[in-house]
Amino acid sequence: MKIGFIGLGVMGKPMAKHLVEAGHDVVVYNRSRPSMDELAATGAVAADNLAQVGQTDIVITMLPDSPDVEAVLFHEEGVASTLQPGAVVIDCSTISPQAAGVIGEQLAAAQVDFVDAPVSGGEAGAVNGALAIMMGGDEETVARAQDVLGVFAAAMAHVGPIGSGQLVKAANQMLVAGNIALVAEALSLLQRTDVDVPAAVDVLNGGLASSQVLKAKGPKMLARDFTPGFRLDLHYKDLLIALAACEQAGVAVPIAGMTTQLVQAMRAAGDGGQDHGALIKAVERLSGIPPHKT
């Protein structure tokens, strides 16, 4: 299969590598050159321009936000200028469900199929080929996408029509951020008592309070290791997408709304580049308490 891949960032680079290793002909494009050269060294073709990426069967985009995806596809000399009818575009970026719908319509007008397929699992998931992928689109196109994305997925689900993948990713980001905020509050309480906090985290993970956030982020929050991982700036962007989706659906979400404001507080304090586990600092600042040393 001839596959185009646009966006060789923290996530995109390892995802594209998995495709090359699986034996596909992969044409890669990135704004800056070094990542392209790195991929070329593993057997990919470094494209000179976006139009060249469009001369493939399937194009995968992995970019920061909606305008980035729209630009690479629909810019005058973008991917869509050379895509042939019957080709498939798979967007693995996290963008707004509505933007995904509009992109789908524009591509359909050129007889190009579209799947929104945002991923969850972070850099580790991308490197280990263990991402969770939530796909929106028609049955047949999702099946074609699934064959390709499988090389870097641990879990894949077809969750509805175009835009549905993004809606489920929005829900995912609400749950993750809210869980981090809750764990931050619980740990902030326990750290200011005589409790043996690591022992407490263990027993909490033995019952209904257990969560993947408590397991994966809890120990890092206790060790105050806030190296990203997933940056608060990006999580904030995803939360704004989620809140807009909730507005569109007519659902007020007080917990996700409050959580978003705590993330915004972190950005206001200059900590937007830290891992989302750093949210515990917002809880501490709010009460004017110094960072807890373990």
Q: How far is the CB of 4 from a second copy (least distance, A)?
A: 26
Q: Does 90 bind a second copy (CB under 8 A)?
A: no
Q: Does 161 bind a second copy (CB under 8 A)?
A: yes
Select 107 or 282, whichever has its Cβ closest to a second copy. Answer: 282
Distance CA 179, CA 205 (A): 13
CA distances from 91 to 17, 114, 182 (A): 17, 8, 31
Catalytic residue (choose from 13, 17, 169, 237): 169
Binding mask 29-68 for a second copy (x = CB under 8 A): ----------------------------------------
Select 12 or 178, whichever has its Cβ closest to a second copy. Answer: 178
Q: How far is the CB of 214 from a second copy (least distance, A)?
A: 7
Q: How crowded is residue 19: how many other Cβ atoms within 10 Å of its Cβ?
A: 23
Q: How far is the CB of 125 from a second copy (least distance, A)?
A: 8
Q: Does 190 bind a second copy (CB under 8 A)?
A: yes
Distance CA 276, CA 21 (A): 31
Nearest to 277 by CA among 237, 211, 229, 208: 229
Select 287 or 294, whichever has its Cβ closest to a second copy. Answer: 287
**HEC secondary structure over 131-196:** EEEEEECCHHHHHHHHHHHHHHEEEEEEEECCCHHHHHHHHHHHHHHHHHHHHHHHHHHHHCCCCC
Select 195 or 223, whichever has its Cβ closest to a second copy. Answer: 195
Residues 81, 98, 120, 264: which binds a second copy (CB under 8 A)?
A: 120
- For this structure, is 169 an active site residue? yes
| # residues near a second copy by CB under 8 A | 76
Beta strands in 7-123 (DSSP E): 25-29, 45-46, 58-61, 88-91, 113-116, 119-120
Nearest to 109 by CA among 141, 91, 90, 83: 83
Of residues 140-159, those binding a second copy (CB under 8 A): 154-159
Of residues 231-270, those binding a second copy (CB under 8 A): 242, 245-246, 249-256, 258-259, 262
Distance CA 113, CA 249 (A): 26
Q: Does 188 bind a second copy (CB under 8 A)?
A: yes
DSSP states of 242-270 as a string? Answer: HHHHHHHHT---HHHHHHHHHHHHHHHTT
Q: Does 183 bind a second copy (CB under 8 A)?
A: yes
Q: Does 25 bind a second copy (CB under 8 A)?
A: no
Q: Does 175 bind a second copy (CB under 8 A)?
A: yes
| Among the residue ranges 9-17, 48-56, 66-74, 199-207, the one whose residues contact a second copy (CB under 8 A) | 199-207
Q: At what angle do helices 66-74 and 97-109 cross, to 10 degrees?
A: 10
Residues 45, 50, 213, 263: which binds a second copy (CB under 8 A)?
A: 213
Nearest to 187 by CA among 253, 282, 275, 255: 282
Query: Would you please indicate which residues are annotated as catalytic (active-site) residues?
Result: 169
